[in-house]
Structure 1
Amino acid sequence: MLKKGIVIALSFLTALNVSALELKGNLTQGGMVVGKIADAKQVTFNDKPLKLTGEGEFVFGFGRDAQATHTLSWVDNNNEQHTKELVITEREFKIDRITGVEKKYVSPPNSVLKRIREEAKAVREARATESTLEYFKDPVFRPAPGRISGVYGSQRYFNGKPRNPHYGLDIANKTGTPVLAPLPGVVTFADPDLYYSGGTVIVDHGYGISSTYIHLSKLHVKVGDKLDTGDHFADIGATGRVTGPHLDWRFNWFNERLDPQLLMQDTLASKSSK
């Protein structure tokens, strides 16, 4: 497993010092990278166009199973094409065997399959938001106190049956423990009762970056609400497919799942953290 804190801060200059490329973040599976090219008018990552801020900044991320090599390309103001190959590190992920999960969550009955599909579609649509908010550049704080009980990327077995890998960071604490906004954003999804994830909130931070909070016992926000760092917007719970109360916290770049632990500062989110 890769430990938190492996961060890149690289700068590349092409011939004649045209098109300075700066990258900051984690070049690894689950990592997020913020880049800047002062004179770029178009940027693509693996042929996907990236939205640019007014200062030429952009963001992208690597999923859990991302391949080792990636291509960043851009066109400068002189219409010259530039390409940079990025090589990321692969990670080893733990095996997580969980017992005592209710049978209906391991092998759901046919009567709930339509509900599960509809809920998954709604969540995907919320993660597909591409706003011009620039909160993805803000520091990311810990959203709740408690024991780290599950980590990103682990291959999960429920009652001995293999299921999807875990894409979040689990923070275990008692039901009702406040969940605080780890960075600013706007709520794009809020539902108190999804089949698998129970109480669920998704927050947009701009340019395809969002964060997800699941198994919540109570929601204090609705879609469209603006959050500032440290705002108390939900409570930890044991809703959905769980064996005990905890917060499952996730980060996303569109539909790529990122590792919150690579981004998180150890300080608990609060108004004083801003």
Structure 2
Amino acid sequence: MNPDRRALLAGAAALAASGAVRARTTDDLVLTGRFVQGGHVIGRTWPRALIFVDGEALTAASADGVFVIGFDRDAGPSAEIEARANGRSAIRALQIAPGDFPMTRVDGLPPATVEPSDPALLARIAREVEIKTEGFASRLDADGFSDGFDWPLTGFRVSSLWGAQRVLNGTPARPHYGIDLAAPLGTEIRAPAAGRVTLAEPDMHFEGGLVLIDHGQGLITAYLHQSQLDVRAGQDVRRGDSVGRVGMKGRATGPHLCWRMKWRNRNMDPSLMVRT
């Protein structure tokens, strides 16, 4: 017998002994999405069900029973998703496909944006880390993600793929957790889905003009290098609302939007959420 199947059957027996009932079909736990490193799950189950990922309670379904789970760039080959509500339980095991991440070189960056050393600048960067951490900690009770995303720009060119291993000015750096969309300076950036702005800062050291939007349950998108912001922190936005304008502030060598996505500290590829 397959080891995964054996483990699931053993778990079912233990749950039955405790008085809970595990769903024998997937009707009570429907999962769609992109099951790949950097991808996601959009799930439907019982309203307000507690959602476990690999045995850890990480989120809860909305009042309509909708939830989202993100897979990090370096996610393992499998994941177990479980919903629990009112003595009931439903579980599914997923296989996570590996991503294909290229290596890219970016040269000509200002040295202070690659290896900063000035004490005052390092203090500024530390303060900005705190600001970003607070913005990413949002857990909006909403499911603006449930209908998928639009591209935040029109008429763009993908200039750097998500997840690429970066070499900056010849120095190896951490992977690039954004997808770069090259577009003319001043191109309007639009909210790809409904949500709430959790951060709007016009001049961050690395990111330049930076906006974070929580689309529900901690699924947060980020918009970097903006030349102008059209939103403020705490503002609710609808799909298509103006967020700001393409710029090249911060660590950038040309006008583009670096579009990022996180779910509870897991780095995700936002392009995989785009509706087709």
TM-score by length of 1: 0.86
Divergent runs of 4+, >3 A: 14-19, 38-41, 80-83
Instruction: Decide which of 230, 238, 241 is 1:220's aligned counterpart.
Output: 230
Partner of 1:36: 44
1:94 Cα deviation after fit = 0.3
Partner of 1:8: none
Partner of 2:176: 166
Distance 1:48 1:62 in 2: 15
1:38 Cα deviation after fit = 3.2
1:81 Cα deviation after fit = 4.6
Preserved CA contact (<8 Å) 2:45 2:61: no
Q: What is the aligned-residue identity percentage?
A: 35
Cα gap change, 1:32 to 1:109, in 2 (>3 Å): same
Partner of 2:126: 117
Preserved CA contact (<8 Å) 1:61 1:256: yes
1:130 Cα deviation after fit = 0.8
Does residue 27 (structure 1) correspond to residue 35 (structure 2)? The answer is yes
Distance 2:209 2:270 in 1: 19
Cα gap change, 1:81 to 1:20, in 2 (>3 Å): closer
Preserved CA contact (<8 Å) 1:40 1:75: no
Q: Deviations 1:182-221 (Å, cap 9, x if unpaired)?
A: 1111111000111101100001111111110000000111
Partner of 1:61: 70
Distance 2:84 2:234 in 1: 35
Does residue 255 (structure 1) correspond to residue 265 (structure 2)? The answer is yes
Distance 1:18 1:67 in 2: 23
Instruction: Decide which of 147, 163, 167 is 1:157's aligned counterpart.
Output: 167
1:70 Cα deviation after fit = 1.7
Preserved CA contact (<8 Å) 2:210 2:222: yes
- Alignment gaps of 5+ in structure 1: 1-13, 267-274
Partner of 2:107: 99
Distance 2:160 2:78 in 1: 28
Instruction: Decide which of 123, 126, 137 is 2:146's aligned counterpart.
Output: 137
**Corresponding residue pairs, total:** 253
SS of 1:137's partner is coil
Distance 1:91 1:48 in 2: 26
Distance 2:195 2:153 in 1: 17
Distance 1:245 1:132 in 2: 34
**Equivalent residues in 2 for 1:230-269 (5 A)?**
230-265=240-275
Instruction: Decide which of 107, 120, 137 is 1:128's aligned counterpart.
Output: 137
Cα gap change, 1:16 to 1:205, in 2 (>3 Å): closer
Preserved CA contact (<8 Å) 1:171 1:247: yes
SS of 1:120's partner is helix
SS of 1:73's partner is strand
Distance 2:148 2:88 in 1: 34
Preserved CA contact (<8 Å) 1:183 1:230: yes
TM-score by length of 2: 0.86
Distance 1:18 1:100 in 2: 52
Preserved CA contact (<8 Å) 1:19 1:76: no
Partner of 2:95: 87
Instruction: Decide which of 175, 189, 214 is 1:179's aligned counterpart.
Output: 189
1:41 Cα deviation after fit = 3.6
| Higher Cα radius of gyration | 2
1:58 Cα deviation after fit = 1.5
Distance 1:15 1:236 in 2: 48
